[in-house]
Amino acid sequence: MLHPPPESWSPAAPAQHARKEPAGPWHSEAACRRDEAGLFFAPSREPTAHRLSREQAAKAVCARCPVLLECREHALDQPEPYGVWGGLTAAERRVMLGRRRRRDAAEAPPSMGRIA
């Protein structure tokens, strides 16, 4: 389930292929606003089979969401440590953030005082 970002929050860079800005905050159009929070966040000690089934159901809601990319970018920018956001689990977001960090480090210019 989506929790609205603080009023002062604004995206650093809009998501690529994002649709035209909605009249209100992006999360006001999220498909998950009509679903139970339990679908998107794990209860404590949830058995693996139940977790996988719940995450699959949450991702199905995300797949039809008009603001999937905005939600995903929000979860990656924050970073959101729990739940399914933008069609990704917390573990999938950690992998994506690691890839971004490695890509950004590879693209960064060499540091001036660094000895090779």
Q: Is 62 annotated as a binding residue?
A: yes
Q: What are phi and psi of 65, to 5 degrees?
A: -85, 135
Q: Is 65 annotated as a binding residue?
A: yes
Q: What is the C-alpha separation between 115 and 112, in angstroms, rounded? A: 9
**Residue 69 CB: number of other CB atoms within 10 A?**
18
Q: What is the C-alpha separation between 39 and 15, in angstroms, rounded? A: 25
Instruction: For residue 1, give the amino acid letter.
Output: M
| Integer-rounded Cα radius of gyration of the chain | 17
Q: Is 71 annotated as a binding residue?
A: yes
Query: Which residues are documented as binding site for [4Fe-4S] cluster?
Result: 32, 62, 65, 71
Query: Which residues are documented as binding site?
Result: 32, 62, 65, 71
